[in-house]
């Protein structure tokens, strides 16, 4: 199977799962939407591993995007409610907002981990640390310029222990 066909089938798997998720959410059925989303992600990962076309960067982005989709769904299903009287009134529920914010926070973790694993960022940091450590010379601890202090001088309070 060629590389292009692998990518097309992979995108098709994700597209069908996204379509099923959006269709279930539009019918106010969060349970089936989560089942569709989770099974699509599992099938997509399995497909990528079997055909040796799995990329951890793409996986991190897809996991984060899925988390944000779930957060938006939770926000609109449980956090915002339209009431019949007065006409056009909206009631905000704190539990929906808390759930959406928590899911959004957890959705940032794959992106942050991917950002920290970037090898170009790590090489730049180590170069700066090495340069700073080379610029600073550590003075020797033992020197001939020092003299030993006696116990009387130490007790006099005129000297500091350094």
Measured CA to CA, the distance from residue 95 to residue 81 in angstroms comes to: 12
Tens-level pLDDT at each residue, the chain (162 residues)? 556 888 899 999 999 999 999 999 999 999 999 999 999 999 999 999 999 888 999 999 999 999 999 999 999 999 999 888 888 899 999 999 999 999 999 999 999 999 988 877 655 555 555 655 565 666 656 666 667 777 777 777 776 655
**Residue 11, strand partner residues:** none
Q: For 37, phi and psi rounded to 5 degrees?
A: -65, -45
| Structure tokens given for 54 | 């799995």
Residue 151 near residue 161 (C-beta atoms within 8 A): no
Q: Is the model's pTM score more than 0.75?
A: no
- Cα torsion at 61, 65, 70, 72 (round to 10°)? 150
């Amino acid at each position: 199977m060629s590389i292009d066909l692998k990518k097309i089938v992979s995108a098709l798997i994700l597209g069908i799962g996204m379509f099923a998720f959006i269709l279930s959410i539009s019918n106010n059925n969060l349970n089936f939407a989560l089942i569709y989303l989770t099974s699509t992600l599992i099938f997509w990962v399995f497909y990528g591993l079997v055909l040796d076309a799995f990329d951890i960067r793409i996986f991190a982005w897809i996991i984060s995007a899925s988390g944000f989709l779930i957060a938006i769904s939770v926000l609109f299903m449980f956090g915002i409610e339209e009431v019949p009287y007065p006409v056009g009134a909206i009631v905000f529920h704190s539990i929906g907002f808390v759930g959406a914010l928590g899911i959004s926070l957890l959705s940032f973790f794959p992106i942050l981990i991917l950002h920290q694993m970037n090898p170009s960022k790590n090489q730049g940091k180590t170069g700066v640390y090495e340069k700073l450590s080379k610029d600073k010379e550590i003075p020797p601890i033992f020197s001939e310029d020092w003299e030993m202090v006696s116990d009387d001088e130490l007790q006099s309070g005129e000297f500091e222990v350094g």
